[in-house]
Amino acid sequence: MSLKLVVLAGSSQPSSQSAKVAAYLRGRLLQLGHCAAADLSLIDLGATPLPLWPAEDPGGVWSDCATLLREADGVVLVSPEWHGMASPALKNFFVYAGRRELGHKPGLLVGV
């Protein structure tokens, strides 16, 4: 049985270092056989940003992310260092995410 994982790049910048590290980690997980390609999702907040809470989400970006997160067994968060704290995009993500998406799931935080 393969794990279902989500790798999340937490930078708001397109083509960020966080996105490159997240893509690398996704590739390594596949290469090492820890997950099947169909069971390993990548969410890049720079490429597909979430609307700033509490704005409307007409494009359904959060709905797509929430579905992936609810089905996942675990989450790998790649966070850029933002003056000693998490990036605004990642903080906005945590405002959207609740127990249905993240509750009782193992997580790995990777600082970039």
* Res 1 pLDDT > 70: no
Q: Which two tokens stand for residue 29?
A: 């997980």
What distance in Å separates the CA atoms of residue 100 and residue 46, rounded to the nearest whole number? 23
Tell me the mean pLDDT in the region 35-59.
94
Inter-CA distances, 95 with 3, 17, 102, Å: 26, 23, 12
Domains, the chain: 5-111 (3.40.50.360)
* Res 82 pLDDT > 80: no
First to last CA, the chain: 31
* Res 34 pLDDT > 90: no
Tell me the mean pLDDT in the region 18-46.
94
- Provide the pLDDT for residue 88: 92
User: What pTM was estimated for this model as a whole?
Assistant: 0.93
